[in-house]
């Protein structure tokens, strides 16, 4: 457990809890702790799905600008790689991941939310990439993940302007997947991933790898990746259990062991 990031596990769901009041500003220590916790969540067999949560008031309002303003080009030319690596560790968690967004998800906070598979938010949230207002650009994947999610023109609008986006517009743009009352965010996020507890975890891992890997390459390469991963599922006990249960009892009644 880190000082500012911890992993809480309950009933098969791991919560990556950001806890650096008042705004969860993502300083360098927090970034490093995030990478460690994401690696742990990936490895633990008692975790089937993950929720990223900043608490009831704010998800994460961006980087720690007081810390960042002291950094030189020489320093950031090295540190920027570690920054991205910490977010990649989250994006590479081989399990369903949902960001539970309250208050603000701005700059690095929004980039962290983009690393999740799904995003649930309160109806009062603001999201965006305001780095341009500081004379810089997103550096933790914002220009890349945002573009892949909503397309280049919409991504350029948000990055070029640095504007804050309210929940309704964020939902229409595809930045959010579900809007709920502010007090219901965490519970809604847990409900979204709870069905994956006890599911065919190796098949879920393969599906996530196929989708995330395929979007980075041309269609032919993506189809080849899918074919390879599809074949690997036939080496699992879950595949045997799933097909035998289907033949004997119909769909949706199999018991999976994650093997």
Q: What is the arithmetic mean of pLDDT over 189-205?
A: 96
pLDDT at 61 over 90: yes
Q: Are residues 135 and 100 in the same domain?
A: yes
CATH code, domain with 61:
3.90.226.10
Residue where a domain stops, chosen among 176, 196, 216:
196
Q: What is the arithmetic mean of pLDDT over 209-217?
A: 95
Q: Are residues 11 and 128 in the same domain?
A: yes
Q: What angle do CA 57, 100, 58 make, to 5 degrees?
A: 20
The CB density around residue 228, as the number of other CB atoms within 10 Å, is 13
Q: Are residues 124 and 233 in the same domain?
A: no
Q: Look at residue 256 and tell me if it is in a domain.
A: no
Q: Are residues 158 and 238 in the same domain?
A: no
Cα(29)–Cα(32) distance, integer angstroms: 5
Active site residue 248: no
pLDDT at 120 over 90: yes
Q: Are residues 121 and 234 in the same domain?
A: no
pLDDT one-digit tens code per residue, 132-171: 999 999 999 999 999 999 999 999 999 999 999 999 999 9
Of residues 253 and 230, the one with the higher pLDDT is 230
CATH code, domain with 243:
1.10.12
Active site residue 8: no
Residue where a domain stops, chosen among 179, 196, 213:
196
HEC profile for the chain? CCCCEEEEEECCEEEEEECCCCCCCECHHHHHHHHHHHHHHHHCCCCCEEEEECCCCCCECCECHHHHCCCCHHHHHHHHHHHHHHHHHHHCCCCCEEEEECCEEECHHHHHHHCCCEEEEECCCEEECHHHHHCCCCCCCHHHHHHHHHCHHHHHHHHHHCCCEEHHHHHHHCCCCEEECHHHHHHHHHHHHHHHCCCCHHHHHHHHHHHHHHCCCCHHHHHHHHHHHHHHHHHCHHHHHHHHHHHHHCCCCCCCCCC
Six token digits for residue 37? 């916790």
Return the pLDDT at 130.
97
Catalytic residue of the set 108, 139, 141, 142? 108
Q: Look at residue 258 and tell me if it is in a domain.
A: no
Confidence of residue 3 (pLDDT cuts 50, 70, 90): very high
Return the pLDDT at 128.
98
Q: Look at residue 74 and tell me if it is in a domain.
A: yes
Return the pLDDT at 234.
96
- CA 46, chain centre distance (Å): 19
* Containing structural domain, residue 242: 201-249
Catalytic residue of the set 33, 91, 105, 131? 131
Active site residue 111: yes
Q: What is the arithmetic mean of pLDDT over 180-203?
A: 97
Q: Are residues 25 and 119 in the same domain?
A: yes
Residue where a domain stops, chosen among 180, 196, 212:
196
pLDDT one-digit tens code per residue, 62-114: 999 999 999 999 999 999 999 999 999 999 999 999 999 999 999 999 999 99
Q: Are residues 40 and 103 in the same domain?
A: yes
Q: Are residues 145 and 214 in the same domain?
A: no
Catalytic residue of the set 63, 91, 140, 206? 63
Cα(148)–Cα(140) distance, integer angstroms: 14
Q: Are residues 180 and 212 in the same domain?
A: no
Q: Look at residue 140 and tell me if it is in a domain.
A: yes
Q: Are residues 86 and 190 in the same domain?
A: yes
Quote the number of domains for the chain.
2
Q: Look at residue 123 and tell me if it is in a domain.
A: yes
Return the pLDDT at 65.
93
Confidence of residue 252 (pLDDT cuts 50, 70, 90): confident
Return the pLDDT at 141.
95
Return the pLDDT at 34.
97
Q: What is the arithmetic mean of pLDDT over 37-53?
A: 97
Q: What is the arithmetic mean of pLDDT over 237-246?
A: 93
Confidence of residue 29 (pLDDT cuts 50, 70, 90): very high
Q: Are residues 184 and 208 in the same domain?
A: no
Query: What's the pTM value of the predicted model, to 2 decimals?
Result: 0.95
- Is the Cβ–Cβ distance between 94 and 196 less than 8 Å? no
Active site residue 103: no
pLDDT at 1 over 80: no
Which residue is listed with tokens 């309160």?
Answer: 122
Average pLDDT, the chain: 96
The two most distant CA atoms of the chain are separated, in Å, by: 65
Return the pLDDT at 165.
98
Confidence of residue 228 (pLDDT cuts 50, 70, 90): very high
Q: Look at residue 255 and tell me if it is in a domain.
A: no
Q: Look at residue 85 and tell me if it is in a domain.
A: yes
Q: Are residues 187 and 233 in the same domain?
A: no
């Amino acid at each position: 457990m880190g000082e500012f990031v911890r992993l809480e596990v309950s009933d098969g769901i791991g919560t990556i809890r950001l806890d650096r009041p008042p705004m969860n500003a993502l300083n360098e220590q927090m970034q490093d702790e995030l990478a460690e916790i994401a690696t742990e969540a990936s490895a633990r067999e008692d975790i089937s799905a993950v929720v990223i949560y900043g608490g009831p008031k704010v998800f994460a309002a961006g980087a720690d600008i007081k810390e960042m303003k002291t950094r030189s080009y020489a320093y950031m030319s090295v540190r920027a790689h570690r920054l991205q690596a910490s977010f990649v560790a989250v994006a590479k968690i081989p399990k369903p991941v949902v960001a539970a967004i309250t208050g603000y998800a701005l700059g690095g906070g929004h980039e962290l939310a983009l690393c999740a598979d799904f995003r649930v938010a309160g109806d009062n949230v603001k999201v965006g990439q305001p780095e341009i207002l500081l004379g810089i650009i997103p550096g933790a994947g914002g220009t890349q993940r945002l573009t892949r999610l909503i397309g280049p023109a919409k991504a350029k609008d948000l990055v070029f302007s640095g504007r804050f986006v309210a929940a309704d517009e964020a939902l229409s743009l595809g930045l959010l997947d579900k809007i709920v009352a502010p007090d219901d965010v965490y519970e809604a996020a847990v409900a979204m991933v709870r069905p994956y507890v006890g599911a065919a975890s190796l098949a879920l891992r393969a599906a996530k790898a196929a989708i995330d890997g395929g979007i980075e390459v041309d269609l032919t390469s993506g189809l080849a990746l899918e074919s390879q991963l599809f074949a690997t599922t036939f080496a699992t006990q879950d595949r045997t259990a799933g097909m035998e249960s289907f033949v004997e009892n119909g769909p949706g009644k199999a018991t999976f062991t994650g093997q």
